């Protein structure tokens, strides 16, 4: 077999591995959807928009802090494991966990003493302050699941984040309303984070085992921390762009408006979880191709996965956005005012797909440039969001317009990030990066017609029959006219090629260097 034939076969194997990982995590997305909808219904109907708004403001700070404390290990751990084959992998993972535990412990102590950033409205109980204990649990879960993803164990992420966490959150939120209604959401969230951590640790210990001869080295951990700072910052910024809107809205709007926006964001973020279906597999595949300088394969994989994500998110956006009033009304009548915000947020997830897949490669080939673009994106978003808040206040528009303004600012900033990051990656690889296809428009047309007809039905029928009909119309057309043979690999269970060996995914540090 020639070198070119071997490379072509390996490329097909990479696409197969990406498809298999995406399928597994897509099932997790559906399960997570089933778990989060009861939570939104319980939180909206029992606790109300104001309590939900206070809860949303708190977990924004908690999860952003936890992401920073994980030191970029969500994506950087794969590279560390690949570069040190002689070191017991569990020891390397424990190094990262120890650094995260120390950082998150300090952060928890700070927010316990200074709770104002978590509760900008100033309304909270003594039990609510205990939510700071979720920071270590969330950060450690990120690292443990990253270790499992390196070995292509996507099932661990599905069990922890898509089954245990949302269902624990939903069940406890309902139960605790009868016991501690003032703090039930906070305590349910805290318990769900640690339930997810224990589930992830069970899989991790079975796969990696306990460390062998592990002795923490302050010098080695300091080097790891310094090296991880650009990636950790990029992770925090990427996550922060999806939460900055809530933080700013909490400063300018009442808690009830924040609660309405949070519900819209949770519904809209469901398709955003689709990107995580491919992220754990895409990283190791890219790092191996970088070592082999197979830049054409990287471009093909980025475009392939980008189209898969865009196609799926566009279909879900149409299915949830067209009957938006009925979807928001399911949580409660006073949440219908967030329909405009929901439409903008769903559109934001579609335009963000290109930025997401481009960044998956940029963090390895242009780490600092990617960081600068991300900083520019979140700065631009902050300026546009604050500007929208000021305009709404001066024109005397309702609070729900502030929510729509924050969502529109997010959509605009993510669209700009997609354009910039795809152009930068294309220039570095010397290959075209574009996941847009006109078949998306062709598939959207019949879906919009079906959706418009569905809105003429009673609300219960609009949800029960309209959403599946929109998805069916869109799915049939995109399958018939948009998906080629390589695209349809995503739906094949018996693949010719297996997943690439995780041990064969090392990469050199190519930060800021053209390959």
CB contact at 8 A, 332 and 321: no
Nearest to 426 by CA among 245, 280, 303, 288: 303
Kindly tell me if the per-residue pLDDT of 213 is higher than 70.
Answer: yes
What is the rounded distance in angstroms from the CA atom of residue 10 to the CA atom of residue 228? 30
Instruction: Give residue 35's pLDDT.
Output: 73
pLDDT mean across residues, the chain: 82
What is the rounded distance in angstroms from the CA atom of residue 140 to the CA atom of residue 81? 17
* Local structure of 436: helix, strand or coil: coil
CB contact at 8 A, 369 and 427: no
Instruction: Give residue 499's pLDDT.
Output: 41
Phi then psi for 181, rounded to 5 degrees?
-60, -25
Output 33-40 pairs: Cβ under 8 A, ≥24 positions apart: 33/270, 35/162, 35/163, 35/165, 35/166, 35/167, 35/169, 35/170, 36/166, 36/169, 36/170, 36/266, 36/270, 38/170, 38/174, 39/166, 39/169, 39/170, 39/173, 40/263, 40/266, 40/267, 40/331
C-alpha distances in Å from residue 28, one per residue of 147, 162, 274, 427, 498: 18, 5, 9, 35, 21
Instruction: Give residue 93's pLDDT.
Output: 87
Instruction: Give residue 476's pLDDT.
Output: 93
End-to-end CA distance of the chain: 27
What is the rounded distance in angstroms from the CA atom of residue 218 to the CA atom of residue 45? 50
Which residues are CB-contacts of 389 (< 8 A; sequence separation ≥ 6)?
A: 248, 249, 252, 253, 402, 405, 406
Instruction: Give residue 421's pLDDT.
Output: 94
Nearest to 371 by CA among 244, 509, 237: 237
Instruction: Give residue 424's pLDDT.
Output: 94
Phi then psi for 509, rounded to 5 degrees?
-80, 105
What is the mean predicted confidence (pLDDT) over 59-65?
Answer: 89
Task: State the pTM of this model.
Answer: 0.72
* Local structure of 309: helix, strand or coil: helix
What is the mean predicted confidence (pLDDT) over 282-299?
Answer: 78
Q: What is the pLDDT of residues 434-489, one digit of tens each?
A: 888 888 999 999 999 999 999 999 988 998 899 999 999 999 999 888 887 766 66
CB contact at 8 A, 95 and 221: yes
What is the rounded distance in angstroms from the CA atom of residue 408 to the CA atom of residue 108? 33
* Local structure of 114: helix, strand or coil: coil
The residues spanned by each domain of the chain are 3-436+484-504
Which residues are CB-contacts of 513 (< 8 A; sequence separation ≥ 6)?
A: 365
Neighbours of 383 (CB within 10 A): 12
Helix then strand then coil, in percent of the chain rounded to 5, is 80, 0, 20
CB contact at 8 A, 367 and 434: no
Exposure string for 179-213, b = 16+ CB within 10 A, e = fewer: eeebbbbbbbbbbbbbbbbebbbebbeebbeebee
* Local structure of 93: helix, strand or coil: helix
Lowest mean pLDDT among 94-108, 296-310, 398-412: 296-310
SS3 track for 362-385: HHHHCHHHHHHHHHHHHHHHHHHH
CB contact at 8 A, 278 and 306: no
| Token pair belonging to 271 | 């398709």
* Local structure of 224: helix, strand or coil: helix
| Token pair belonging to 34 | 């089933």
Nearest to 311 by CA among 399, 435, 185: 435
What is the rounded distance in angstroms from the CA atom of residue 224 to the CA atom of residue 85? 16
What is the rounded distance in angstroms from the CA atom of residue 390 to the CA atom of residue 413? 18
What is the mean predicted confidence (pLDDT) over 178-195?
Answer: 94
Nearest to 168 by CA among 186, 191, 151: 191
What is the rounded distance in angstroms from the CA atom of residue 380 to the CA atom of residue 420? 13
Instruction: Give residue 1's pLDDT.
Output: 55
What is the rounded distance in angstroms from the CA atom of residue 441 to the CA atom of residue 418? 19
Residue where the block lists tokens 């609510």:
128
Q: What is the pLDDT of residues 336-392, one digit of tens each?
A: 888 999 999 999 988 988 888 888 888 778 878 888 898 899 899 999 999 999 999
* More reliable by pLDDT, 498 or 262: 262
Share of the chain above pLDDT 70, in %: 83
| Token pair belonging to 363 | 């963090």
Kindly tell me if the per-residue pLDDT of 508 is higher than 50.
Answer: no
What is the rounded distance in angstroms from the CA atom of residue 134 to the CA atom of residue 433? 39
What is the rounded distance in angstroms from the CA atom of residue 332 to the CA atom of residue 75? 38
H or E segment at 26? helix 3-42
Kindly tell me if the per-residue pLDDT of 274 is higher than 70.
Answer: no
């Amino acid at each position: 077999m020639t070198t070119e034939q071997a490379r072509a076969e390996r490329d097909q194997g990479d696409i197969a591995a990406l498809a298999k990982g995406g399928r597994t995590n897509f099932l997790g997305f559906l399960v997570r959807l089933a778990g989060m909808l009861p939570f939104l219904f319980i939180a909206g109907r029992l606790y109300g928009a104001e309590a939900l708004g206070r809860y949303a403001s708190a977990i924004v700070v908690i999860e952003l802090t936890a992401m920073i404390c994980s030191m970029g290990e969500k994506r950087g751990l794969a590279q560390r494991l690949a570069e040190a084959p002689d070191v017991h992998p569990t020891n390397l993972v424990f190094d990262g966990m120890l650094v995260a535990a120390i950082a998150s412990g300090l952060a928890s102590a700070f927010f316990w003493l200074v709770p104002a950033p978590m509760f900008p409205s100033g309304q909270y109980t003594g039990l609510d302050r205990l939510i700071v204990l979720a920071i270590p649990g969330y950060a450690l879960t990120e690292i443990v699941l990253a270790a499992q993803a390196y070995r292509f164990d996507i099932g661990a992420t599905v069990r922890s984040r898509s089954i245990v966490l949302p269902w624990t959150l939903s069940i406890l939120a309902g139960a605790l309303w009868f016991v501690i209604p003032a703090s039930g959401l906070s305590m349910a969230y805290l318990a769900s984070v640690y339930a997810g951590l224990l589930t992830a640790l069970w899989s991790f210990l079975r796969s990696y085992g306990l460390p062998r001869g592990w002795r923490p080295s302050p010098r080695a951990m300091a080097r790891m921390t310094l090296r991880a700072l650009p990636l950790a910052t990029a992770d925090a910024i990427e996550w922060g762009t999806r939460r900055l809107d809530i933080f700013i809205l909490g400063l300018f709007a009442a808690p009830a408006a924040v609660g309405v926006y949070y519900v819209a964001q949770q519904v809209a973020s469901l398709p955003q979880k689709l990107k995580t279906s491919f992220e754990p597999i895409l990283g190791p595949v890219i790092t191996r191709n970088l070592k082999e300088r197979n830049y054409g394969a990287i471009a093909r994989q980025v475009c392939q996965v980008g189209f898969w994500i865009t196609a799926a998110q566009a279909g879900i956006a149409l299915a949830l956005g067209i009957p938006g009033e009925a979807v928001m009304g399911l949580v409660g009548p006073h949440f219908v005012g967030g329909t405009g915000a929901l439409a903008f947020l769903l559109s934001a997830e579609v335009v963000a797909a290109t930025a997401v897949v481009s960044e998956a490669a940029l963090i390895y080939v242009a780490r600092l440039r990617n960081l600068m673009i991300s900083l520019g994106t979140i700065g631009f978003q902050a300026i546009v969001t604050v500007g929208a808040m000021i305009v709404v206040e001066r024109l005397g528009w309702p609070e729900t317009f502030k929510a729509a303004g924050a969502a529109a600012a997010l959509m605009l900033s993510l669209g700009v990030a997609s354009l910039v990051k795809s152009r930068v990656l294309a220039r570095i690889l010397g290959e075209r990066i574009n996941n847009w296809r006109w078949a998306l428009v062709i598939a959207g047309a019949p879906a919009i017609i079906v959706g418009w007809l569905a809105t003429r039905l009673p609300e219960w029928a609009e949800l029960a029959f309209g959403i599946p009909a929109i998805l069916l119309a869109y799915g049939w057309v995109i399958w018939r006219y948009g998906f080629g043979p390589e695209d349809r690999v995503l739906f094949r269970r018996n693949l010719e090629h297996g997943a690439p060996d995780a041990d064969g995914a090392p990469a050199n540090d190519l930060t800021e260097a053209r390959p």
